[in-house]
Amino acid sequence: MPPVLPDSASVVSDGRPSWDEYFMAITELVASRATCLRRKVGAVLVKDKRILCSGYNGAPSQIPHCRETGCLREQLNVPSGEKHELCRGVHAEQNVIIQAAFHGIPVAGASLYCTTQPCSICAKMIINAGIKKVYFKKGYDDPLSLEMFAQAGVELIRLE
């Protein structure tokens, strides 16, 4: 298992939030737009202290939200972390990468701020997109994602 690095930067000496705190606070605001009934997740891509794109979890565009249809995973009693394909929602990390691609924004070398540690499906996308660092707040029990991030050299940093 690769180590998850602790928060490296807190409040700067002049009383302002650190860059990490600033971007994570924005990520939490992005998560408030999520339409998933089980978990609200937000993601923000950052490069050179500039926000490139944001995304949150929920149904694809033009598709009814789970609030309207109900949660398929709950209806089928699917435990958290299993059978991700049995969900009408797109993960926040997937959405932020998709939105960047849709708008022609290059993300190679960027950092991802996410309210929740990415799952293994999102880890594959993050690795292939060339994202180098992932900052997250809440853990997620997916050892495969940790293993893949370590093998790919993607740095994981948990912000408290």
pLDDT at 32: 96
Convert the pLDDT of each residue in 52-83 to its tens digit: 999 999 999 998 888 888 888 888 888 877 77
Asked if residue 63 is part of any domain, the answer here is yes
3-state SS, one letter per residue, for 7-19: CCCCCCCCCCCCH
Looking at the domain assignment, is residue 75 inside a domain? yes
93 is catalytic: yes
Instruction: Give the pLDDT band (50/70/90) at residue 13.
Output: low
String of DSSP letters for 49-83: TEEEEEEE-BPPTTS--HHHH--HHHHTTPPTTS-
Residue 6 lies in a domain: no
Residue 13: count other Cβ atoms within 10 Å of its Cβ: 5
Q: Say if 148 falls within a structural domain.
A: yes
The residues that bridge with 114 in the sheet, in sequence order, are 43, 136
Residue 13 is assigned to a structural domain of this protein:
no
List the structure tokens of 54: 């944001």
* pLDDT tens digits, 116-152: 999 999 999 999 999 999 999 999 888 999 999 999 9
Residues 129-139 pLDDT 10s: 999 999 999 99
Question: How much is the pLDDT for 3?
Answer: 52
> Do the Cβ atoms of 157 and 138 come closer than 8 Å?
no
pTM: 0.87
Q: Which of 21, 28, 82, 93 is catalytic?
A: 93
Angle 57-90-127 from CA coordinates, rounded to 5°: 100
| Count: domains in the chain | 1
- Supply the range of the domain harboring residue 26: 19-158
Q: Is residue 9 part of a domain?
A: no
In a domain, 98, yes or no: yes
Tokens of 158: 């948990």
For tokens 């029990």, name the residue. 141
In a domain, 89, yes or no: yes
Q: What pLDDT does 26 receive? A: 98
User: Which region holds residue 153: left if phi is over 0, alpha if psi is between -120 and 50, else beta?
Assistant: left
Instruction: Extract the annotated binding site for Zn(2+).
Output: 91, 119, 122
User: What DSSP line would sit under 80-134, residue for residue?
Assistant: TTS-TTS-S-B-HHHHHHHHHHHTT---TT-EEEEEE---HHHHHHHHHHT--EE
CATH of the domain at 99: 3.40.140.10
Closest residue by Cα to residue 20 from 30, 6, 35: 6
